[in-house]
């Protein structure tokens, strides 16, 4: 039982992208002028819920709603309410850039969302504008406050540090996060952008970050961390919080990968980096039964490769051919 692949990896984690659209244009994620999927290509909320019920019966336990920017999709709290009660789902979260959280945090909490990850790479207005190509830092900070106020906690803050761009903000981000009670997660820059600008030299590695942090705030591995989670969790030895590292380039976690991704246009993807995927929307709309959908899901899991991220450093760049990050769902 369950979604087990040829390498014995059990898949219990599903990331659902609800849109490819976004109110930011982060340079490492999407082009300046993206071409969006037409609305009619997107899965409807009822279709998403139908698929999640099916996945949950196959052992999916963790659910994350993402995008693009999920909060630009109309009535997102409605979808949250539909997914909340699905049997078997134990962990239910949302990844957002936070801009619209000020408006929606209360509704999301009322709809049954447990917690949020908010992406924030810098606390400097000018840098924020340069990295995201929009001037919305104050909205993100207001969104974070709202998330804390409405109990969408623990609030985790995702940051990507880029060499020569915002790497010097590590200490400021750590200090600020500890003061506000956010759990910071530092993600290594991955080659999922669209303009081919990724270079290994631009990745700030997790081991370097841990060394720098330890100089000011001693940290140690958190014994309660989940060994299957992509983020390794550490804790500050002074007892003031935790911090996570996603060393996706320097220490890829492919061998314990438990994730599947459903894109907003209804494609199931087995891995960020290889293009093994399968259309679930067309059969769903053509009235396929559960058995047919399950056959497709199992076949995709079967075809999943050993590890798309394993060769990145040697090959210097292995961006998937077909989609950038905002189209897959981060």
The footprint of ligand SAM (CB under 6 A) covers 22, 28-29, 66-67, 69, 95-97, 119, 158, 160, 187, 189-190, 192-193, 325-326, 330
CA distances from 266 to 53, 146, 149, 168, 281 (A): 15, 31, 34, 39, 5
Cβ-based nearer residue to ligand SF4, 17 or 232: 17
Residue 190 binding target from ligand SF4, ligand SAM, none, CB below 5 to 8 Å by type: ligand SAM
* Percent helix, percent strand, percent coil in the chain, to nearest 5: 35, 20, 45
d(CA 104, CA 122): 23
Residue 189 binding target from ligand SF4, ligand SAM, none, CB below 5 to 8 Å by type: ligand SAM
> Which is nearest to 246 in space by CA: 192, 189, 186?
186
d(CA 309, CA 259): 13
Q: How far is the CB of 100 from ligand SAM (least distance, A)?
A: 10
Question: x/- contact string, 5-34, with ligand SF4 (CB under 6 A)?
Answer: -----------------x-xxx--xx----
Tell me which stretch binds ligand SF4 (CB under 6 A): 65-73, 105-113, 233-241, 306-314: 65-73
Can you tell me which of 19, 58, 93, 119 binds ligand SF4, judged by CB under 6 A?
A: 119
Cβ-based nearer residue to ligand SAM, 97 or 122: 97
d(CA 326, CA 70): 11
10 bridge partner residues = 4
Q: Per CB under 6 A, does 76 bind ligand SF4?
A: no
Please give the structure tokens belonging to residue 201: 């030299």
Please give the structure tokens belonging to residue 250: 């320097």
Cβ-based nearer residue to ligand SAM, 11 or 156: 156
For CA atoms 103, 106, 108, 113, the dihedral sign is positive
Can you tell me which of 17, 19, 97, 263 binds ligand SF4, judged by CB under 6 A?
A: 97
Give contact residues for ligand SF4 (rule: CB under 6 A): 22, 24-26, 29-30, 67-69, 97, 119, 326
């Amino acid at each position: 039982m369950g979604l087990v692949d040829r390498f014995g990896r059990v898949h219990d984690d599903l990331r659902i992208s609800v849109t490819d659209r976004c109110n930011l244009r982060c340079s490492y994620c999407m082009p300046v002028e993206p071409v969006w999927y037409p609305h009619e290509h997107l899965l409807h909320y009822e279709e998403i819920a139908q698929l999640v019920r099916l996945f949950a019966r196959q052992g999916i336990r963790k659910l994350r709603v993402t995008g693009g920017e999920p909060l630009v999709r109309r009535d997102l709290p409605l979808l949250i309410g539909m997914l909340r009660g699905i049997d078997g789902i134990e962990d239910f979260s949302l990844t957002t850039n936070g801009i619209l959280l000020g408006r929606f945090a209360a509704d999301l909490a009322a709809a049954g969302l447990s917690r949020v990850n908010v992406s924030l790479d810098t606390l400097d207005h000018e840098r924020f504008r340069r990295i995201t190509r929009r001037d919305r830092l104050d909205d993100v900070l207001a969104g974070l406050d709202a998330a804390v106020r409405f109990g969408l906690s623990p609030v985790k803050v995702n940051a990507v540090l880029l060499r020569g761009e915002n790497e010097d903000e590590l200490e400021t981000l750590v200090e600020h996060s500890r003061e506000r009670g956010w759990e910071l997660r530092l993600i290594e820059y991955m080659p999922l952008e669209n303009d081919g600008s990724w270079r290994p030299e631009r990745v700030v590695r997790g081991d370097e970050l841990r060394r720098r942090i330890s100089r000011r705030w001693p940290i140690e591995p958190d014994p309660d961390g989940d060994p299957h989670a992509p983020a390794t969790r550490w804790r500050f030895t002074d007892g003031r919080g935790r911090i996570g590292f996603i060393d996706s380039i320097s220490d890829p976690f492919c061998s314990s990968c438990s994730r599947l991704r459903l894109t907003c246009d209804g494609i199931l993807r087995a891995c960020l980096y290889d293009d093994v995927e399968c259309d679930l929307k067309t059969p769903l709309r053509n009235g396929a039964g559960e058995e047919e959908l399950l056959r497709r899901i199992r076949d995709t899991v079967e075809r999943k490769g050993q590890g798309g991220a394993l060769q990145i450093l040697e090959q210097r760049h292995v961006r998937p051919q077909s989609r950038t990050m905002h189209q897959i769902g981060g």
